[in-house]
Structure 1
């Protein structure tokens, strides 16, 4: 069996995202998933701001004499609630009140804070809970063991005779007790256990229970400091304009009017951007507006959206690299019962509520960066490269993020800020305007998916799925670009939930001149859209109920079948929809997902007006994410992901003309508005399986459910997002 066949076979057996990555890594040569030194001794840990009297149990826990417990957060909080869920894991095993746990950003330190799945120090891929569920529990259990051992030594009793409760070690036989804070000195001398005993789930106090987010109060009262809130003594403000055409360069700058703007201090001109530095943001922004810049647009000056689509479609004509191969799909894809379709996705921007920003202080011998980033290690590397300093001369101060969605996995904002900062004396904050934010993105890739299927005995006998698009991992995590297959680009296809005996999944790498990056869901967005749409097409053409058709192929996959049945039941699938007002059509669609180590199914209900406008009126999502840490966070993530996905279907697209991005702000890069929100219902399947991811699946599964609902309402299947009302109206009327 070849390497790609081995990788594919793992997914075909329902292997989780984490296990898939582990095995794919081993196939690629082994050694990618290095041992995580969770029990590192205190002397080896550079935990920030640790007082000398603190007990540094391991890379994650610091306990002060006043009983304060500090969790050094290995993941970044960008609205997804991980500060709460990760603190719950620690508090559970350490046996302290959750209210006593404080959080602190981890420093840039891959050795101690690299995500166990990726090793890279990052927050993304819906892997925070998957990666840290066991390490943080073990960290808490290890620290608890050390504290109990310290008390046992102090009282000269058997540790087995002691118990813990709310940050205290208790000896019931003698009535003695000791606060954790009083034991820190002695605990620091205890050797950590190699395999600390973990709590049985029956004794959980926090894990699995709904817990209010610990970061909400400070966000409400304004105490939370995002990257954009950083203020330093003597700090200047800057805003910038990069070449409007990617790859373009500065030809000439006239700054005479800019330097007349009150508060403007200087203009920095680099080869591909200009920046105006002032006493405050308004001065910098007004100065930039007064600046006259002539650009050399470079090789992409005439690039058009039609040209980009044509290049993608041309690339899709070539055979791809097998990402999964089972049976003989090509040999069965002939004769009667063949169904095929092509599906395409456009570029998408992230458009996070907090615009891109970065504060820097670049000196001859050091560089400090204040930023909200999803990847601390790469942030330090980027700042070092841009400043010309060594990595040990760079300090990254990370902040809570006002929305990431993958955008802040990229380092372009940090690199640009440091490059500008080299020409500015003292600290300087760079803030992007919304227009610069939208038009100087690393966009969700365009994707082209061609799917062919053979139907026999009411099931899919053979499936050929060719995926064409950029290889994000080849640039970002080369270890996961295995044998010319981008593991992210094929996710949601190689691990589809259906039992299909003959499968060929191919990947064609097709890069674009427009920079691309991860966007909430990435590869599964494309693949689940394509597969679930084709499944619905087959069901409709063969006059089969879409739910029944899916159920036939999920009998061997109880987790996928479980969420599908639950979503259908809660949505009332077997009961007809109430007709809409005159001039509208209503429809209901369904989709199922197996990706990110989780299983989801979604039913969407839509109303389509005679002029082709689509409103999503209700969504019902069932989830099986394995063991749930915080149900409250889980529900919020599905709700947020649903809104993100609806936005993509109804409005989401970034287009290019004359090499320039056409969208610039929320007036032409629409997001779902409050008065457009549907009724969103979320249900959970209890599970003791290993935790899966939830940050992205909600976004992914709702999209094909909406497309299938529109199909049910109109008889027209959307094959390229977003929905074009005029085109839909024309297709319906003809």
Structure 2
């Protein structure tokens, strides 16, 4: 199970020190853009001086040092397009270099160097463009001085500066050395949206060709001279210790070179993964159980429900909801979400070469600074003595914000002479995951005149931030756990939102695509359908009546309903299916999404999603193809969650082990998915997680409409939805 991420060193970097570091790059133009005080972004802590960099070399090569990692969300292409737009170079001219662990690349919204929370586009949209515009201004000034002309008479296009009056031109590379001697302008004008050639236009993904022809290198693809491959097994019960293992039997397996036995890990090192796996099977590891060896899923649910009735911390209070609830006709409901694994296609892996006084690591990680500090803490080194080579990630979803895999690989590598790639089996990946938390949401409301006049939302669950980033947990509140519950998009007259922290035993929990909003938006949107039904009001009309003061939310809701033909679900074939439409709204991650879903429910309770229609307002769109792809991927992710997936515990152990019992959506499960984007000039929002969040309540509400029975615990219970014989 994961260890806590070590605290990162966060040195302050002055502008002078930054310029000294830049001068070491040689005859290149290097631009750094300070990120503090960005509009709409959370200010970074005073101990960080984050910067984004672009380098232009004498051979005309343009390099963007990527402050975000690529894990399938299209960040490499979108950020490169932002730079190319302002720099006036073709998108294909930009080379990408993953940022090393460095406070210059801190995500302003998170306060650490990490990619997550659907923040990439929203926080880097202005800084990356500023970097491009600043570089372009310095190149223009260098050309103006060389040609002794006014800079205003020059033009840029396709990576060159031109002086139309004289017919002279120069490539950026030829001007780079002179431009590096120019003072950086204190302010630069960014392009007007009307002049965009890349931003807002569909462009081909820069990472796609390599993924198609196999040249793209993920962490698991790393091959080094003399490298061995290891696989591992950890205690199935948290806190369990290694009791016995048959090393002799493992060493007899062809290709096995070494057995590494630690107090909580057993690993076999071989020539390849097959040898390591066969050796691990022959090892016959036995464990001493941990303190939670008798824990069961029923106990965990009961403990969570009991905690939900205890004292909580007020996260939002508008008006006096408690007083209004005390004298009104109160409707109450509770919703529960299970543990979930990430189950990314690329299983956890990390290659480590530990030598005296130094260490090199090849990995795909969402938090390179945490990975560096984690390995350093194991080896007793300073973080600077650990080199991180970050790679493409074959699915992150929050799992690779954790560095337990790096720490375990480093502990194994300490005992191996030479580089070793540690690859988790699928079973280990699922049984030793850092799971999406269990949540319990209890809601109470009063409806009068077709409007909610009192709203009480109580969120019960663990605090991920208290473990992962302690400064983020303040005054007893985990902001991530209550996101989506506080500041609902609807005009509720009186609002009370509370948070009850309850740390479930047995498993370690962490970020999972959508995290807190998965529970808060699911429960709120399902509860709204329950209120509409109780008051005999159409769910769409019920929501619209409370969104008149939120035009962006109302716009996506109306668009999704219109495109889906709200109120007219197609008839299901045969007589053994019931059909229904469900609707849900998300206002979160800086974006607005609405989803309308059509389902057919068979007599045996089997649910088939037949159509998903999404409308999205994500502010300024960088690449519409990426937005559509993220919504499609997110809705498929959420579909699997509500219909099939759950991690359960028995005897202190996770019961699921592979895709046969932790089922991901299959091809025949996927319905038609339509996406409609609302043109917007608002600042960019996030899109990696919203599709996952909004589709879950939409599916649940569609099932409610089809059967009259509201799902209140994921995944949907087929037996509950089965047609009862008379």
Determine if the TM-score, normalized by the shorter chain, exceeds 0.5.
Answer: yes
Displacement, 1:42? 4.8
The residue aligned with 1:54 is: 28
Displacement, 1:36? 10
Distance 1:350 1:576 in 2: 33
Displacement, 1:45? 4.1
The residue aligned with 1:365 is: 357
- Partner of 1:192, secondary structure, is coil
Distance 1:522 1:213 in 2: 27
| 1:443 counterpart (435, 440, 454) | 435
Distance change >3 Å, CA 98–CA 276, structure 1 → 2 = same
Distance 2:169 2:658 in 1: 60
The residue aligned with 2:199 is: 207
Distance 1:696 1:430 in 2: 29
Correspondences of 1:101-116 after superposition (within 5 Å): 101-110=94-103, 112-116=104-108
| 2:284 counterpart (280, 284, 292) | 292
Residue 152 (1) aligns with residue 144 (2): yes
Distance change >3 Å, CA 693–CA 37, structure 1 → 2 = farther
Is the contact made by 1:39 and 1:139 (CA closer than 8 Å) also made in structure 2? Answer: no
| 1:607 counterpart (600, 610, 616) | 600
Distance 2:605 2:431 in 1: 29
Is the contact made by 2:600 and 2:610 (CA closer than 8 Å) also made in structure 1? Answer: yes
Displacement, 1:579? 4.2
Residues 446-496 of structure 1 deviation map (CA, whole Å, 9 limit, x = unaligned): 000000001111100011111000101122222322211100000011032
Q: Which runs of 5+ in 1 are unaligned?
A: 1-32
The residue aligned with 1:26 is: none
Residue 175 (1) aligns with residue 171 (2): no
The residue aligned with 1:687 is: 680
| 2:272 counterpart (273, 280, 286) | 280
Displacement, 1:46? 9.3
The residue aligned with 1:558 is: 551
Residue 44 (1) aligns with residue 21 (2): yes
Number of residue pairs aligned between Structure 1 and Structure 2: 697
Is the contact made by 2:293 and 2:651 (CA closer than 8 Å) also made in structure 1? Answer: yes
The residue aligned with 2:641 is: 648
Q: CA RMSD in A?
A: 1.6
Correspondences of 1:350-499 after superposition (within 5 Å): 350-499=342-491
Residue 621 (1) aligns with residue 591 (2): no
The residue aligned with 1:118 is: 110
Residues 541-594 of structure 1 deviation map (CA, whole Å, 9 limit, x = unaligned): 211100000000001000000000000000001435324421000000000011
- Partner of 2:722, secondary structure, is helix
Displacement, 1:184? 0.9
- Partner of 1:519, secondary structure, is coil
Distance 1:43 1:205 in 2: 35
- Partner of 2:552, secondary structure, is helix
Is the contact made by 1:114 and 1:121 (CA closer than 8 Å) also made in structure 2? Answer: yes
If the length of structure 2 is used for normalisation, what is the TM-score? 0.94
Residue 343 (1) aligns with residue 335 (2): yes
Is the contact made by 1:587 and 1:607 (CA closer than 8 Å) also made in structure 2? Answer: yes
Distance 1:637 1:508 in 2: 32
Displacement, 1:294? 1.9
Displacement, 1:74? 0.6
Residues 270-322 of structure 1 deviation map (CA, whole Å, 9 limit, x = unaligned): 11110001111111110000002221112011111011111111110112101
- Partner of 2:480, secondary structure, is coil
Moved over 2 A (4+): 33-47, 52-59, 334-337, 477-480, 574-580
Distance change >3 Å, CA 192–CA 426, structure 1 → 2 = same
Distance 1:359 1:705 in 2: 42
Correspondences of 1:524-603 after superposition (within 5 Å): 524-603=517-596
Residue 243 (1) aligns with residue 235 (2): yes
The residue aligned with 2:63 is: 70
Distance 2:535 2:54 in 1: 59
Distance 2:189 2:468 in 1: 37
Displacement, 1:66? 2.1
The 10-residue stretch of structure 1 (123-132 or 330-339) with the greater mean CA deviation from structure 2: 330-339
Distance 1:36 1:46 in 2: 15
Residues 686-715 of structure 1 deviation map (CA, whole Å, 9 limit, x = unaligned): 111111100000000000000000000000
Is the contact made by 2:53 and 2:65 (CA closer than 8 Å) also made in structure 1? Answer: yes
- Partner of 1:713, secondary structure, is helix
Is the contact made by 1:474 and 1:486 (CA closer than 8 Å) also made in structure 2? Answer: yes
Distance 1:569 1:86 in 2: 33
The residue aligned with 2:186 is: 194
Distance 1:484 1:44 in 2: 41
Distance 1:373 1:581 in 2: 49
Q: Which runs of 5+ in 2 are unaligned?
A: 1-9, 33-51
- Partner of 1:621, secondary structure, is strand
Is the contact made by 1:337 and 1:456 (CA closer than 8 Å) also made in structure 2? Answer: no
Distance 1:286 1:299 in 2: 30
| 1:511 counterpart (503, 508, 517) | 503
Displacement, 1:55? 2.5
The residue aligned with 1:163 is: 155
- Partner of 2:532, secondary structure, is helix
The 10-residue stretch of structure 1 (653-662 or 310-319) with the greater mean CA deviation from structure 2: 310-319
- Partner of 1:60, secondary structure, is strand
Distance 2:14 2:172 in 1: 24
Distance change >3 Å, CA 271–CA 34, structure 1 → 2 = closer
Distance 2:382 2:59 in 1: 38
The residue aligned with 1:20 is: none
The residue aligned with 2:650 is: 657
- Partner of 2:60, secondary structure, is coil
Displacement, 1:39? 11
- Partner of 2:481, secondary structure, is coil
Is the contact made by 1:39 and 1:192 (CA closer than 8 Å) also made in structure 2? Answer: no
Displacement, 1:727? 2.8
Distance change >3 Å, CA 599–CA 322, structure 1 → 2 = same
Residue 79 (1) aligns with residue 79 (2): no
- Partner of 1:256, secondary structure, is helix
Displacement, 1:43? 3.1
If the length of structure 1 is used for normalisation, what is the TM-score? 0.93
Distance 1:34 1:699 in 2: 37
The 10-residue stretch of structure 1 (533-542 or 434-443) with the greater mean CA deviation from structure 2: 533-542
Residue 263 (1) aligns with residue 240 (2): no
